[in-house]
Structure 1
Amino acid sequence: MSRAYYAAPIKNFLATEESKIIGQLTRSHGQDLMHTQTIAWEYQIRYLQQELGKAENQGWIFFEFMIPRMGRRADVVMIVSGIIFVLEFKVGASVYTYADRAQTAGYALDLKHFHSGSHDKYIVPVLISTEANEPELAVEFNDEDVSNVICTSGDGLFRKIRQVLDKKPSQDFDIHGWSISSYKPTPTIVEAAQALYAKHSVIDITRTEAGGENIAVTSSRLFEIIHGARVNKRKVICFVTGVPGAGKTLVGLNIANQHANPDDDEYSVFLSGNGPLVTVLQEALARDLYANERARGRRELSKQDARRKVESFIQNIHRFRDESLKDKSKPPEHVAIFDEAQRAWNIEQTAKFMRNKRGISDFAMSEPEFLISVMDRHEDWAVIIALVGGGQEINVGEAGIGGWFNAIQHTFKHWQVYCSPNLLTGEYIRNGIDANSIKDFEQEPSLHLSTSMRSFRAEKLSSFVHHLIDGNASAAADTFKLIAPYFPIVITHDITKAKAWIKQKTTANRRCGVLASSNAIRLKAEGIFVKNTVEPEHWFLAEGNDIRSSSFLEDAATEFDVQGLELDWTLVAWDADLRFIDGKFQHWQFKGSNWQARRQLENRRYLENAYRVLLTRAREGMIIFIPKGNVADETRNPEFYDGTFQFLLSCGLREL
């Protein structure tokens, strides 16, 4: 029962002295215990011993029970007559806040989804705000057998528990078997980063089956390579590949977080050219750091200090590049992790940027070549970890992995290369590479992440989207049959219905949002403005009742805003830029006041990848909105949309 700090039958809990329970909780906690936490435990123990002594004394009780996905612990879990009650205490609170209700409901939903022993159980989230009024609210269960949040000051707790037991008669089950049943947590990248920063291990927050093992093996091998490079004074570059959603970014963050101290011999930095991802991660970690310091009674750290501390190990790659241009000395980090390395700029795009934005007219290096040159300033050793995705290039001028190998072959032959065997396939390098031309080259199978963890309900979502974008309705329909029971996807012509459907699906700590292609200009007629700028830190992090939040469903995000990030539920708005006509997709671009055909293959591929990104952001399900069009508006001719709608129906999707 190690998933809880304290676990016992309720009758044993009632017979145990408070001091002994506190002692066990303290020993299990094991680190940096705050006085406020001890006070909270004392209150919870006294209250529950008093109330349980009057009422239910059968069943089990768990204090500080680990909740999968979030890497956090519920205050108390009680199992009474076969029903799981998740109790969250807010001692001294006089209101039931939106955030507290979402947190409590989130614990219940995460148990339901990620803890195999809880899949078929009734689960009741209970928020106890000790100074609040006692509300009267009926207990209702959703179709997943999770109830709405019961709010109580504590006075009516056991009356409400009795109401639940009368409403949902259940059967006792094997508590030991339940407690040791497998966890399959699949956190969002934001939640994973927060858990890592709070010093949870990568195993705590990833699947205990193939996905988690894969990440652990890859991380362990990279740590070995880093340590070996330092000991043997070598310069090494590692290419890590993985299927979409397999956890490449998580591997990089894990390494950077383990060596985030500038005094560390293997000091590391996580670099990404994905501006929204960097912004969201920095803000999320800074908020956590600031809140945790405040909770410990430490007020020396300001919000700005927290941001600076986080920014030291998660940086925008362009900032790193610009600082290295100004300062020619060796960087403080010996290890640089480049996320989405295939998106680094080629020599033409880099030279254009340097000329137009930095006033440097003679710059003649690609971004990969320059970045390697920066790390090569170390005289003794250095490691570059290049995290490589496939099939999601969405910007002009991206060099692909060939840009990195060209730099190694022509300028940095003294660098040792480790790469996943998968890197050599056409999925990652379109024109192939000559590995024999690299002096020190070694294939390393552990550097490929083969299991997607993006959606706990639909690991085959990526395959479905691949067939859909290819225009292969038959293959898409066959794949969708496998995921439909667990990952609902519906389509509609009605944006109002679409928003109502997704709102109904998004409860507790779940997030939803409107997504659209950056060139979906004519969605403006439907109230979707892709030219509006979203603030990623608010769009992804603000509570659902904040108008800046994705869940408010007012601001649409594009492929540039969401690549590398996720939502639980998505509303994908599909415009006429990618339209299915005469048995195949046509590629269009809206310029000025008209649609123009995309002639260049590369531009067509960017558009397809944009929709590939949009259609793979959901973790639990999505709705696709396709306008009906308007015969009076030649830019929204119904013929632009009808074929796409019918094609999606032929892929197995149903109309709402």
Structure 2
Amino acid sequence: MRAYYANSIGEYLASDEDSVLGALTAASTFAVDIAQRNAWLEEIRLLRETLPAFPSGELLLEFVVPRLGKRIDAVLLLNGAVVVIEFKTNATAFARADVEQTWDYALDLKNFHETSHHRTIYPVLVITGASGELRRGEHRSTDGVADPSLVCADRFAELLQQLVGQRVEESAPLGHWESGRYRPTPTIIEAATSLYRRHSVQEIARHGADAKNLTCTSEKVAAIIRQSRDSSSKSICFVTGVPGAGKTLVGLDVATRFQDASSELHSVYLSGNGPLVAILTEALARDRIQQERLQGRAVKKGEARQAVKAFIQNVHHFRDEGLKDPTPPPEHVTIFDEAQRAWNLAKTVDFMQRKKGHRGFQQSEPDFLISCLDRHPDWAVVVCLVGGGQEINTGEAGIGEWLEVIRTRYPDWQVHLSSELTESEYAAADAIAVLAAQRVVHFDDDLHLPVSMRSFRAEQVSPFVRHVLDLEVDVASDLYRSIARQFPLVMTRSVEQARRWLRRQARGSERYGLVVSSQALRLKPHAIDVRAPVDPVHWFLDDRDDVRSSFYLEDVATESQVQGLELDWVGVVWDADLRRHGTGWQHHSFVGSRWQRILKPDRQAYLKNAYRVLLTRARQGMVIVVPRGEPDDPTRDPAFYDGTYRYLRSIGIPELG
């Protein structure tokens, strides 16, 4: 059971307050101090005064919300509705953070709690340090979640009558609502935080066919690690998945499972994605400080960050340490996120000569990283997490380089491949064929994650984006019709209109922001400058009061800053770097004072993949902005934009009115 206390209202009213307090105290996983005890007593007494008018409902106290890692003070099931209550004892005003918290609880239940999907949900914030005020929230959303109602304790009963007193929906049997399956879809930041607290992936992943695959993938990787250890062998495995399917989540789960620094099962999660590493490190450090504070202990941020670095590291720091120290690394297991972005031989050699002074260095990044683990005399495992079609920078090797290195330099390593790695988007089929002709290769369906969990409202967003970029209009149109109802996707030619739309859509603490291609250099007239420095930590983690946060819709993030991360609501501003012209795409970069055609196939692929990343960042909805251009500005000729706009409209994406 998820609640510390759950009972019918009739039984609750028949119980004395000491028995209810005792049940709460016994269920608590933390020591109950005097302040918590007094807060509970005040809530218990207020509910006892309020609920006699609703004898047929249910009451749940301290209902645990797994994804958020928090507890709802009280949930009332009244006349078929769900009333989510947050009490702020002794508070004299309605703080915005408290309003957002209450709203978040209601939205979380609606989105992820099975028996709440078809119920009307009323979030209510109650303060006890003031009197007389009642602000009933509007009921304007189509999903059945009302805006938060704000009320002082002396008018709480009056508000409940207004919200549910006239409802006649039949209530479910006692305990039915609480027993509903909880199927959360956490953001990567929420997932990392939960896993770092040593929760399992099963606790934070959706339960169903897609989540079963996520759990199976994590278990499969863990089994390969144990098998390698027990047989003193070395293995490399490749995990694939569509954007947002949970590859990073699998990697973080494996890293936290094998996180015993005192044993040879110590592992580390590595990524070359600097913004992702910085954001996760800061988020985990902030959470560690907060958790320790709740326990009455103080931890300095520097100490918290240092602890996180044993769990998550930048792959380049790991590489540099391997250059300095020729002994085996402390980890027997390394998880490389976005392995397709590792550097090829030319880029690695050039970097080592120019930046590190290693004149004779002759290894690609995959080669050197495997060689570090190969130093172990007994066993080691390399886990490569692979995103298809997500190479976005010159010099990224792709998966073919990993496979070629394994074939030519590490013949004793066992190879475990996702069965989907032969698909065209991974550009590895030829390398796999050559490797498989010479040695045993293990293919496994459990190493592929086919369903996006990022866009939990519509799982087909990633395939839709793929078909849009591949210019497959009919398939893209069919997919758009299948997702449009659950996943709002609209177009506009005005950046300001997009900003207004994003602000209107977001509820509670739902995060929104603008993203653009790093080549989008002619958006300055719209107050968007991709060359302005943006700190992704502030952009992703700080709240709406900070002008550096995504909420302000002033700073924009590019594909390199958002890859591997997500927002609830995204505005994609589409510049003239990628244009629909005739029957295909035209690729451009802005050099000096004019656009120049990109003709090299690899650079064309990088630009297309940049838009693939940008268009798959949204969890709940997206607005695409294709500017109108300016006839008097040759760098913003309307013809540069109109073809793209007409193409996207032809798919069926509606324009904002």
Give your verdict on TM over 0.5: yes
Q: Give the CA RMSD over aligned residues.
A: 2.0
Residue-by-residue CA offset, 1:161-211 (whole Å, 9 max, x unaligned): 122125766443345433333333211111111122233321121111012
CA distance in 1, matches of 2:116, 2:575: 41
Matched, 1:308 2:306: yes
What amino acid is the match of 1:198? R
- Deviation of 1:36 after TM superposition, in Å, equals 6.3
Out of 258-267 and 211-220, give the one that drifted further: 258-267
The C-alpha deviation readout for 1:474-525, integer Å capped at 9, x for no partner, is 2211110111111111111122211111110011021110011101000111
SS at match of 1:58: coil
Q: Structure 2 CA distance, aligned partners of 1:338 and 1:26?
A: 43
Kindly state the Cα deviation for residue 570 of structure 1 after the two structures are TM-superposed: 0.6
* 489-498 or 433-442, which deviates more: 433-442
Quote the residue 1:358 is aligned against: 356
What code does the residue aligned with 1:154 have? A
Rate the CA distance shift 1:133–1:363 in 2: closer, same or farther, 3 A: farther
1:251 aligned partner, one-letter code? V
- Write the mapping of 1:60-75 to structure 2, written as runs, cut at 5 A: 60-67=58-65, 69-75=67-73
- State the Cα distance separating 1:394 from its structure 2 match: 0.2
* One-letter code aligned to 1:356: R
Cα distance, 1:645–1:175 mapped onto 2, change above 3 Å: farther
Per-residue CA distance 1:560-604 (angstroms, 9 max, x = gap): 110110011111101011111223221111111100001111111
Which residue pairs with 1:587 in the alignment? 587
Q: List aligned pairs for 1:284-323, cutoff 5 A.
A: 284-299=283-298, 301-323=299-321
1:586-624: per-residue Cα shift (whole Å, max 9, x none)?
111111110000111111111110111111111111111
Tell me the alpha carbon deviations over residues 533-565 of structure 1, each in whole angstroms, 9 at most, x when there is no partner. 221111111112321111211111110110110
Residues 30-69 of structure 1: matches in 2 within 5 Å?
A: 31-35=29-33, 39=37, 42-43=40-41, 46-52=44-50, 55-67=53-65, 69=67
Between 470-479 and 597-606, report the one with greater CA deviation. Answer: 470-479
Deviations 1:304-348 (A, max 9, x none): 111111121011111111122122222111111110111111111
Find out whether 1:392 has 2:404 as its counterpart: no
Hey, what does 1:630 align to over in structure 2? 630
What secondary structure sits across from 1:388 in the alignment?
Answer: strand
Total equivalences in the alignment: 653
Preserved CA contact (<8 Å) 1:415 1:440: no
TM-score scaled to structure 2, two decimals?
0.95
Alignment partners' CA distance in 1, 2:167 and 2:46: 23
Report the Cα offset of residue 40 of structure 1.
Answer: 6.0
Deviation at 1:51, TM superposition (A): 2.3
Alignment match, 2:160: 161
Residues 578 and 588, structure 1, Cα contact 8 Å, conserved in 2:
yes
Give, in whole Å, the separation in 1 of the partners of 2:105 and 2:379: 45
Partner of 1:241: 240
Aligned-partner Cα distance in 1 for 2:398–2:102: 44
2:344 is matched with: 346
Tell me how far apart the structure 2 counterparts of residues 179 and 508 of structure 1 sit (CA, whole Å): 23
Identify the range of structure 1 (579-588 vs 483-492) with the bigger mean alpha-carbon deviation: 579-588
Deviations 1:267-313 (A, max 9, x none): 111001111111111111111110110111012x1111111111210
Q: Which residue pairs with 1:408 in the alignment?
A: 406
Compute the displacement of 1:436 (Å). Answer: 2.9
After TM superposition, give the deviation of residue 439 of structure 1 in Å: 4.2
Hey, what's the Cα distance between the residues in 1 that align with 2:172 and 2:208?
A: 24
Q: Does the CA contact (< 8 Å) of 2:113 and 2:181 recur in 1?
A: yes
Alignment of 1:205-284 (within 5 A): 205-284=204-283
Distance in 1, matches of 2:92 and 2:301, equals: 26
Q: Is the 8 A contact 1:414 1:439 kept in 2?
A: no
Between 223-232 and 344-353, report the one with greater CA deviation.
223-232
Partner of 1:146: 145
Report the AA paired with residue 371 of structure 2.
S
Q: Given that residues 134 and 151 in structure 1 are in contact (C-alpha distance below 8 angstroms), is that contact kept between their aligned partners in structure 2? A: no
> How many angstroms apart in 2 are the aligned matches of 1:347 and 1:218?
31
- Equivalent residue, structure 1, for 2:492: 492
Which residue of structure 2 lines up, in the alignment, with residue 369 of structure 1?
Answer: 367
Q: 2: distance between equivalents of 1:42 and 1:498?
A: 44
Find the partner of 2:95 among 86, 94, 97. Answer: 97
Distance change >3 Å, CA 14–CA 544, structure 1 → 2: same
Q: Distance in 1 between matches of 2:267 and 2:90?
A: 42
* Partner AA of 1:207 in structure 2: R
Residue equivalent to 1:540? 540
Task: State the distance in 1 between where 2:250 and 2:458 align.
Answer: 21
Equivalent position SS for 2:425:
coil
Q: Does 1:21 align with 2:20?
A: yes
Structure 1 pair 10–500 and aligned structure 2 pair: CA distance change class (3 A): same
**SS of corresponding position for 2:171:** coil
| Helix, strand or coil at the partner of 1:297 | coil
Contact 2:72 2:105 in 1 (8 A): yes
Equivalent position of 1:202 in the other structure: 201
Alpha carbons of structure 1 residues 27 and 252: separation in structure 2 relative to 1, 3 Å: farther
User: Which digits, 9 at most, give the CA deviation of each residue in 1:34-67, with x for residues without a partner?
Assistant: 5368526633553345323554333101122233
Amino acid at match of 1:268: S
Distance 1:179 1:28, change over 3 A: same
Alignment of 1:432-447 (within 5 A): 432-433=431-432, 434-436=434-436, 439-447=439-447
**Structure 1 length normalisation: TM-score?**
0.95
Q: Is residue 477 of structure 1 aligned with residue 477 of structure 2?
A: yes
1:282–1:129 Cα change, 3 Å: farther
Structure 2 gaps, min length 5: none
Q: Distance in 1 between matches of 2:262 and 2:596?
A: 55
1:489-638 alignment, distance < 5 Å: 489-638=489-638
Distance 2:476 2:75 in 1: 42
Secondary structure of residue in 1 paired with 2:475: helix
Whether contact under 8 Å (2:493, 2:627) holds in the other structure is yes
Which SS does the other structure have where 2:203 is aligned? coil
